[in-house]
A and B are shown apart, each in its own frame.
Chain A
Amino acid sequence: SQQGEEDPQALSIQEGENATMNCSYKTSINNLQWYRQNSGRGLVHLILIRSNEREKHSGRLRVTLDTSKKSSSLLITASRAADTASYFCATDGSGGYQKVTFGTGTKLQVIP
C-alpha cells in the first residue's frame, strides 16, 4: 500500500501564483523527500527533509514537516510554466532498513 498520499490530486494555477501540495503518511519516518516528474526530465529529486527538521527551503521551494500530524507540505512560490509536472512525496520507514515508498502524486498545471 502507498505510504504517502498527496492532496490535491490535481491543481491548476496561473503563472506567478503559489502552489501548495500536501502529503500525509501513516508510519514513523526518518526522511521525507519530494520528487518532480515531467515528460522532459523524468523523475527528479527536489528536496529532502529529516524527521527532526520542521522546515526547509531550496530556491522557490519550501517544505514543512509535521511529524505529530504525519504530514508534509510543498510550497512552490512564483510558479512558472516549467513547474508543470507531477509531484510526489516519498517516505522511508524509521528503523534499520530505509525502504522508500512513493505517494500517489499531485498533478500541477501552471497556465502561462
Chain B
Amino acid sequence: EAGVAQSPRYKIIEKRQSVAFWCNPISGHATLYWYQQILGQGPKLLIQFQNNGVVDDSQLPKDRFSAERLKGVDSTLKIQPAKLEDSAVYLCASSLGGAFLTYSSYNEQFFGPGTRLTVL
C-alpha cells in the first residue's frame, strides 16, 4: 500500500514570498491533517479535514496560511506571505477514521516524509 506522499521535500524562499505544499493521503483515508513542526518541538496541528470539510483550523494563522482539500482526496497548504518564523517541517498525515469516531484502530495517523521549509 502506498504511503502518504508530499512534495516538495525541501523549499527555500525569502520572506514575504509565497509557497505551496502538496499532499496525497493514503487511498480511502477520510481524515487529512497538516502539522507544523519547528525544530526541537512536537508537531502542531494546523488544520484537519474530514473528507473535504474542515474539522479544526483553530491553530492555522489564517491571515497568511490557507489550505484546501478538493474532492476529499489530495490537499494543498499555502503560505502567503512567508515570515522567518514559518521555517519548519510541514507534515501531512492521514487516518482511516473520521474525526468523530472513537474506534481506536481508525485513529492511527500515517505521516508523509514532510517538507522542510527555510525562510530567509
Measured CB to CB, the residues of A under 8 A from B are: 2, 4, 30-31, 33, 35, 42-45, 48, 50, 88, 90, 92, 96-105
| A45/B104 contact (C-beta < 8 A), A100-B45, A101-B45, A103-B42 known | no
Which secondary structure dominates chain A's binding surface?
A: strand
Residue B25 is within 8 A (CB to CB) of chain A in the complex: no
Please indicate the chain A residues that have their CB under 8 angstroms from the CB of B101 in the complex.
98
Establish whether residues A31 and B107, one from each chain, have CB atoms under 8 Å apart when the complex forms.
yes
Establish whether residues B104 and A97, one from each chain, have CB atoms under 8 Å apart when the complex forms.
no
Q: How far is the CA of A90 from the CA of B114 in the complex (A)?
A: 18
Measured CB to CB, the residues of B under 8 A from A are: 33, 35, 41-45, 48, 55-56, 91, 93, 97, 99-102, 104-105, 107-114
Among A42, A45, A88, point to the contact of B108 (Cβ < 8 A).
A45
- Give the one of B56, B100, B105, B111 with max A CB within 10 A: B111
Please indicate the chain A residues that have their CB under 8 angstroms from the CB of B112 in the complex.
42
Among A4, A43, A100, A104, point to the contact of B107 (Cβ < 8 A).
A100
Please indicate the chain B residues that have their CB under 8 angstroms from the CB of A44 in the complex.
111
Establish whether residues A105 and B42, one from each chain, have CB atoms under 8 Å apart when the complex forms.
yes
Write the nearest CB–CB distance from B5 to chain A, whole angstroms: 12
Q: How far is the CA of A4 from the CA of B114 in the complex (A)?
A: 22
Among A50, A88, A96, A97, point to the contact of B42 (Cβ < 8 A).
A88
Q: How far is the CA of A92 from the CA of B56 in the complex (A)?
A: 13
Establish whether residues A98 and B45, one from each chain, have CB atoms under 8 Å apart when the complex forms.
no
Q: How far is the CA of A90 from the CA of B111 in the complex (A)?
A: 14
| A2/B42 contact (C-beta < 8 A), A43-B91, A97-B55 known | yes
A-B contact pairs, 14 of them (CB 8 A): A31-B107, A42-B111, A43-B93, A48-B105, A88-B43, A97-B99, A98-B97, A98-B101, A98-B102, A99-B99, A100-B45, A102-B42, A102-B44, A105-B42
Write the nearest CB–CB distance from A33 to chain B, whole angstroms: 7
Establish whether residues A97 and B100, one from each chain, have CB atoms under 8 Å apart when the complex forms.
yes
Q: How far is the CA of A42 from the CA of B35 in the complex (A)?
A: 13
Establish whether residues A100 and B109, one from each chain, have CB atoms under 8 Å apart when the complex forms.
yes
